[in-house]
Structure 1
Amino acid sequence: MKVGFIGTGSMGSLLIESFIRSGAMNPGQITASSRTLSKTERLAASYPGLCVVPSNAEAARGSDLVFLCIKPLDFKHVIDDIKASVQPETMIVSITSPVLLAQLEEWLPCKVAKVIPSITNYVCSGASLCIYGSRFGPEDRDRLEGLLSHISEPLCIEEKYTRVVSDISSCGPAFFACLLQRFVEAAVQETGIDPDDATALASQMLLGTGKLLTEGGLSPELLQSRVSVPGGITAEAIRLLNHELDGTFNRLIRTTHAKFYEDVEKVGVSFLIH
């Protein structure tokens, strides 16, 4: 299978590297373009055989599967670049959540889908959230999910839940890294523990917690009850957390959704004015 990548920024380059390092594909299967060609050339220098092309049309032409790893407001321009280069059987996959499948199907004469990856895919972990257009058949889904399964757990979702599942799966690592950072900083400020030691301990704790919640079969509630003794230190700290965090994550989800719908509206306008 020949795969094109349009956009080699943070997530585009992460996907390329993850697919190659996991053995899902070799560099010779990949053709890539980017607005900043030097980024793609640096990537190709690390993975000999990866083909760098100067135009989006060339990245799409002859590819069985094309990943669009670009910003929301760049979509109409890129679609105009590639629509003459794709065939009805070409699979186009957007990784950008505010661009709707209906918009892609209206403007592209091929099979379209959305995949929401996660930074955790870099270590072949976490989920890839898959949303399929009407032209994507069962065999197409199997091919795409077979590729994604090398670096993640592919999960099929409904488009109406795009934002909230992205909050959990894709943004979640940054949210919990923020909480871990604040935890470590407080430990250093209050006790003088070495920051590197505290970070290492907290990171290993988070890794182990993830395993307990997956491989260990514990729910978040059960894990808390297993650690927390009534009237003990952990129970007192959890009481404080529940009080201080009351409503925090509701506000977080409202914030991400507000920004998402703002971006959806901007994308819709960009498709109309070109």
Structure 2
Amino acid sequence: MLKVGFLGGGRMAHAMAKGFIAAGLTKGEHITASCIPEDKLSVESFKGIGATSTFENPLVVKKSDIVFISVKPTVVKDVLSETSSHISDRHLFISVAMGVPLKQLEKHMPKGTRVIRAMPNTPALVRTGASVFVCGSSVKNEDIAITKKLLESVGTCEQVPEYLLDAITALSGSGPAYIFILIEALADGAVRMGLPRDLAYRLAAQTVIGAGKMVLDTKEHPGSLKDNVTSPAGSTAAGLYCLEKSGFRSAIIGALEAATEKSREVSKSFEKLS
């Protein structure tokens, strides 16, 4: 059983902990999470899965072999400074703090500390997340293997070079928000055409799930799948024409570009830290 700790006990940390337990990688009694005293919901969430909840960050490191850095990016430096003296060779750190580069993480930890930078997304809450990770300079093959096992317990997982993380943040990190708007808009359109709202939301959400699964399972180009459902002079063709006139594709591409640039700004701000 893995001894897992979370420096920061928010919703993502809790979701990952539940996934690790469900996958049989650990048990609640082997999980320790630090929560702020005011966040009673997080405290109770971890207690609910049999984990230890604490207000002391060093205790998390002392009791764990694998430590997730899951605090807000702005406090990462302070948390690492607080816990640095308790880090030893047995520890593997996995940071899910957005925008904090590996070299900044390693800079505030003892030399040789094994650090992985990972980025899950919010569907990890329902164990359908899309995660990526980047290895630090001291990471070993067995660290990569266990990271994959952990992240695959809450969805999919891929290893990538660090320079891709800003664009991935814009795609899979911010992407769920774009899809939520799409689901809402599909449902609003259906309601306008006479469907009950609860039925419209269910059908819209399931349609998104089904379309995504078709892309993954068939491995066909999305454009080909689109062509397969578009009959000559049919209703789909009419709807697609309206989307093209409204600049649907360019709006999505623009959103990815804007989100990537914002992520780059955040990353550069951390690179300037002393």
Q: TM-score, normalised by structure 2?
A: 0.91
- Is the 1:130–1:157 Cα contact (8 Å) retained in structure 2? yes
CA distance in 2, matches of 1:87, 1:79: 13
CA distance in 1, matches of 2:64, 2:158: 24
Provide structure 2 residue ranges, at least 5 long, that are not aligned to the other structure. none
Please tell me whether residue 231 in structure 1 is matched to residue 233 in structure 2: yes
Tell me how far 1:168 sits from its aligned partner: 2.2
CA distance in 1, matches of 2:150, 2:231: 45
2:80 paired residue number: 79
* Partner SS, residue 9 of structure 2: coil
Tell me how far 1:97 sits from its aligned partner: 2.8
Name the Cα RMSD after superposition.
Answer: 1.8
- Is the 1:6–1:70 Cα contact (8 Å) retained in structure 2? yes
Give 1:1-274 correspondences, 5 Å limit: 1-36=2-37, 38-48=40-50, 50-109=51-110, 110-188=113-191, 190-244=192-246, 245-269=248-272, 271-272=273-274
Deviations 1:233-258 (A, max 9, x none): 21121122123224212321222123
AA aligned opposite 2:89? P
CA distance in 2, matches of 1:174, 1:67: 24
Between the two proteins, the alignment pairs up a number of residues equal to 269
CA distance in 1, matches of 2:63, 2:219: 45
- Is the 2:102–2:117 Cα contact (8 Å) retained in structure 1? yes
- Is the 2:11–2:42 Cα contact (8 Å) retained in structure 1? no
CA distance in 2, matches of 1:129, 1:113: 10
Q: TM-score, normalised by structure 1?
A: 0.91
AA aligned opposite 1:195? R
The change in CA–CA distance for 1:131 and 1:85 in structure 2 (over 3 A counts) is same
CA distance in 2, matches of 1:124, 1:254: 27
CA distance in 1, matches of 2:41, 2:30: 19
AA aligned opposite 2:265? E
Tell me how far 1:127 sits from its aligned partner: 2.4
CA distance in 2, matches of 1:66, 1:85: 12
Tell me how far 1:138 sits from its aligned partner: 0.9
The change in CA–CA distance for 1:89 and 1:23 in structure 2 (over 3 A counts) is closer
The change in CA–CA distance for 1:197 and 1:40 in structure 2 (over 3 A counts) is closer
Give identity over the alignment, percent. Answer: 26
AA aligned opposite 1:51? T
- Is the 1:118–1:170 Cα contact (8 Å) retained in structure 2? yes
CA distance in 1, matches of 2:63, 2:117: 20
